[in-house]
A and B are shown apart, each in its own frame.
Chain A
Amino acid sequence: MWSRLTYTFRETGASLRRNVTLTVAAILTSAVSLFLVGGTFLVQRGFDNLLSKWAGGVQMIVYVTPQATPDQITAIQQALSSNPTVIDVDKLVYFDTEASLAEAKRLFAADPGAFALLNANNIPTEFKVVPKSGKLDLLVQLADSFRPLPHVQKVVLARDQVEQIAKLRDFVQTVTVGLSILLLIGALILIWTTIRTAMYARRREIEVMKLVGATNWFIRIPFMLEGLIQGLVGGLLSCGFLLFFNRLWTNGVVKLKGDNGFIALVVSDSFLNGVMFGVVAFGMIAGAIASGVAASRFLDV
């Protein structure tokens, strides 16, 4: 067992050194592609956060002041429900203080300072309004009639902020997913080429190994380890990029301040950590599998 391990590490190390140029190219390509994969997740998460307020076809939010009494809240609910041809009453949802605070906590994950300023006495509660299908225009016309009701703080329409953002998200999604797939393929081809080159450099050794009865797994494992290490290093590098750009992004968004809701574009540290872990694991597994398959292709018994 020990002799197997030392053999494997010695061969892997020698092969990585022998192939410096290709190895570096494979590592850099995997780093950039894994960075894009991770970045795609982060950007999606940011947009989803931002849009999550509006999930489920919500087109209008009626904010109610925290001072409203239960009777006054009921009055607003009745005013909304009295338009059953426009508003889908079954889907009408009320976020009470607790639910509104929970939502804010999620949206302000990146800015705990701002969240700390919120409490039951100053956070507005919300009615989330879904229109009946095809009735969006009528809902927009109705919006003005809710503004003067007592204790309505403001009425916000999705049309004003959400649709542009959703379009932007779809565009960004297409670009990042497309680019990361392309680069991933590039990275796999480079790892494949590195392994093939490494095997060509060692063809005499492989021939001897096969003749003296080494198993294909034994021959393959140093190469798989080589691919795994390339994926690992590429993954770690991509984590560096992700940390750097996420910091840049977070700082930029936090500086925007104001009541524009963009703070939700920032993702939480735990999500970032999850993405980084996933990217490294994916890099290692993909690298090992790509080189294992490459090795098998050039290893017919």
Chain B
Amino acid sequence: MIRLENVTKIYNSEVTALRDATFEVAKGEFVFLVGPSGSGKSTLLRMMNRQERPEKGAVWVAGRNINEMPDSKVPHLRRNIGNIFQDYKLLLNKTVHENVAFALEVIGRPKHVIRQQVPAVMDLVGLAGKQDRFPHQLSGGEQQRVSIARAFVNRPLILLADEPTGNLDPGTGEGIMRLLDRINKTGTTVVMATHDQRIVNMMRKRVIQMDRGIIVRDQARGVYE
């Protein structure tokens, strides 16, 4: 589903954020990216939906070299990739329902599709009955569920999660983790950057460990270390 070949990323021709990264993620797989702050986890995720382009190497997603894709095709690539973040990136002036519907609205999905898909994904993330609240009326964990609903409402092939439990207390983070696991079980490929040791050790999934831009470990059913 995702393949990186010798990817090197240098910011402003001085900071080497990734050096010669090569790995492959199969369809339906769940992968943890671990490593200290600044080791290149976020950069790696941003490579996968062309928010960044590598200085060297190639990134393949769903069989296509996405760095050779014309700009006009990038939106269509991104419709197949959901994103969630540590800070949720919710729109504060919109309700829960509007936040999720927004993702379909702006890619031109018709009203009847929105009416059908939004409540379905609300049920899935466990927010049924809270559609009309605003983000500030929700707990952190609930806000993250809204952002997962928004990322998943279009049923993407891939979900990229950048420290989704970073702002949450352990219990809440575990709930989010179980939700992502459930989404993964529907066939969605999930790549999750984290330095939440407990969660990585609990899940026993594949672990790719980064250190200063280099992949230092790639282990099936791994732990954090």
Contact = CB atoms under 8 A, between A and B. Distances in A.
Interface of A: 2-4, 7, 204-205, 207-216, 218-219, 301
B128 interface: no
Contacts of B49: 211
Contacts of A219: 106
Given A3-B105, A3-B110, A7-B106, A214 B89 contact: no
A257 B150 CA distance: 74
Choose among A4, A207, A213 the residue with the greatest number of B CB atoms under 10 Å from its CB: A213
B105 A213 contact: no
Given A3-B105, A7-B105, A212 B150 contact: yes
Contacts of A205: 91
Contacts, number: 59
A210 B78 contact: yes
A209 B25 CA distance: 26
Given A209-B106, A210-B78, A214-B106, A2 B111 contact: yes
A213 B89 contact: no
B108 interface: yes
Contacts of A215: 72, 75
A213 B154 CA distance: 11
Contacts of A214: 75, 106-107
B79 interface: yes
B191 to A, nearest CB: 15
A301 B71 contact: yes
Contacts of A212: 78-79, 83, 102-103, 106-107, 150-151, 154
B114 A3 contact: yes
B107 A213 contact: yes
B50 to A, nearest CB: 7
Interface in B115-147: none
Contacts of B111: 2-3
A213 B91 contact: no
B91 A208 contact: yes
Interface centre among A204, A211, A216 (most CB of B within 10 A): A211
B171 to A, nearest CB: 28
Contacts of A213: 75-80, 107, 154
